[in-house]
């Protein structure tokens, strides 16, 4: 695969690249650059984590990337996930690995790293302190929104360690690329600023899209000073809001029920979550999307591109309910192997039951 093809795959994943010039230089000089993504183990896996993220991983690995997936158990502990119980958080991390396995992530080609192993290294804490010394209180405060919390929700001094640790992770893991969601942009940009100050290797930032919740667009909530980005973060699908979220354990009936109730105004493609799932998931996983309809409603139609689908929807040639029913079927096809893995695999089932019996905290 030549350089332009590799760049094309990355751009197909990226919502934003900082910077494209640096990405070109990196891919031109390295056949297998090292990227990472980090995850707080908390609660059940949802569509963005269990389906969308593995699809992005496959494309980036096709482009030659090696990956380290960080299970940020200490970060989740600082963020009071799972009631602040570190052992419970560890169990959720093990559950996350089973989700990746069931979703088809090649665990022989990615390295799973636990934050609880990183924090045992003295050199890690030296990095945390050097980063903190190079960062103003105001800058650290702005970065705290990476925790998914606004300023008024923060109660503990320990939470200020969170962005310092997330930046330290990047340098401790020795990665070339930070490949996380757009909501983690502030930590990744801070890492680039710190790299310049301390003369460390500056990471390229490739931020992927955040899938919208079933409710559609929400009002800004103060996660970012950029209003457009703030709205995107506020509107993302969240595990803490189950009524607007699709989980990888949802039955076919659950998925259908949720999508039928989802925001999807006729002829309006703007901020439409159902069209978004078609664009970012279905057309990434499948070559086509077939809409089944009665003859009096236009008969069956097959779309081979998202642009074709959106055009028909905007023109009113495609009814919202027909779109919802089709998208539900395709999402169920992607979720079914994960659901079955947790039904049939003893270890996976025990981890699922453990989380189900716990009080899941935001």
Render pLDDT for 293-347 as a digit per residue (tens, 0 to 9).
989 888 999 999 999 999 999 999 999 999 999 999 999 999 999 999 999 999 9
Range of the domain at 164: 3-208
Render pLDDT for 51-94 as a digit per residue (tens, 0 to 9).
999 999 999 999 999 999 999 999 999 988 998 899 999 999 99
- Domain membership of residue 38 (yes or no) is yes
Q: Which pLDDT belongs to residue 149?
A: 59
Q: Nearest CA to 171 among 151, 141, 192, 150?
A: 192
Same domain, 186 and 334: no
- Domain membership of residue 218 (yes or no) is no
Angle subtended by helix axes 20-29 and 3-13, to nearest 10: 130
Q: Among 157, 187, 208, which residue terminates a domain?
A: 208
Q: Nearest CA to 264 among 278, 252, 254?
A: 278
Cβ–Cβ < 8 Å for 201, 195: yes
Q: Among 208, 225, 246, which residue terminates a domain?
A: 208
Same domain, 193 and 250: no
- CATH code at 128? 3.40.50.620
Question: What total number of domains does the chain contain?
Answer: 2
Q: Which pLDDT belongs to residue 229?
A: 72
Same domain, 41 and 189: yes
Contacts of 85 (CB under 8 A, 6+ apart): none
pTM: 0.91
Would you say residue 361 has pLDDT above 80?
Answer: no
Report CA-CA distances (Å) from 275 to 59, 175, 332, 335.
21, 34, 16, 18
Same domain, 188 and 244: no
Same domain, 203 and 289: no
Same domain, 170 and 31: yes
């Amino acid at each position: 695969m030549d350089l332009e093809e590799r760049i094309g795959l990355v751009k197909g994943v990226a919502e934003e690249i900082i910077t494209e010039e640096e990405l070109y230089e990196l891919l031109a000089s390295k056949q297998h650059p090292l990227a990472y993504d980090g995850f707080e183990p908390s609660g059940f896996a949802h569509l963005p984590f269990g389906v969308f993220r593995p699809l992005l991983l496959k494309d980036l690995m096709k482009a030659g990337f090696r990956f380290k997936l960080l299970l940020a158990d200490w970060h989740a502990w600082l963020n009071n996930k799972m009631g602040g119980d570190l052992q419970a958080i560890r169990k959720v991390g093990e559950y996350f690995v089973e989700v990746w396995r069931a979703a088809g992530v090649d665990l022989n080609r990615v390295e799973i790293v636990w934050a609880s192993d990183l924090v045992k290294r003295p050199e890690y804490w030296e990095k945390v302190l050097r980063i903190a010394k190079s960062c103003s209180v105001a800058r650290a405060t702005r970065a705290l929104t990476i925790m998914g919390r606004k300023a008024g929700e923060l109660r503990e001094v320990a939470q200020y360690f969170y962005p310092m640790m997330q930046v330290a992770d990047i340098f401790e893991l020795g990665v070339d690329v930070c490949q996380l969601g757009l909501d983690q942009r502030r930590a990744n940009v801070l890492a680039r600023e710190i790299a310049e100050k301390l003369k460390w290797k500056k990471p390229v930032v490739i931020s992927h899209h955040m899938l919208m919740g079933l409710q559609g667009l929400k009002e800004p909530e103060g996660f970012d000073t950029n209003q457009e980005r703030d709205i995107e973060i506020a509107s993302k699908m969240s595990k803490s809001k189950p009524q607007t979220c699709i989980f990888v354990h949802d039955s076919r009936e659950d998925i259908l029920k949720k999508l039928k109730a989802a925001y999807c105004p006729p002829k309006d493609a703007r901020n439409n979550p159902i069209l978004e799932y078609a664009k970012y998931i279905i057309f990434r996983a499948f070559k086509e999307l077939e809409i089944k309809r009665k003859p009096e409603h236009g008969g069956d139609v097959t779309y081979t591109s998202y642009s074709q689908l959106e055009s028909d929807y905007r023109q009113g040639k495609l009814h919202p309910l027909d779109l919802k029913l089709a998208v539900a079927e395709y999402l169920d096809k992607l979720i079914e192997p994960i659901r079955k893995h947790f039904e049939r695999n003893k270890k996976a089932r025990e981890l699922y039951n453990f989380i189900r019996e716990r009080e899941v905290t935001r």
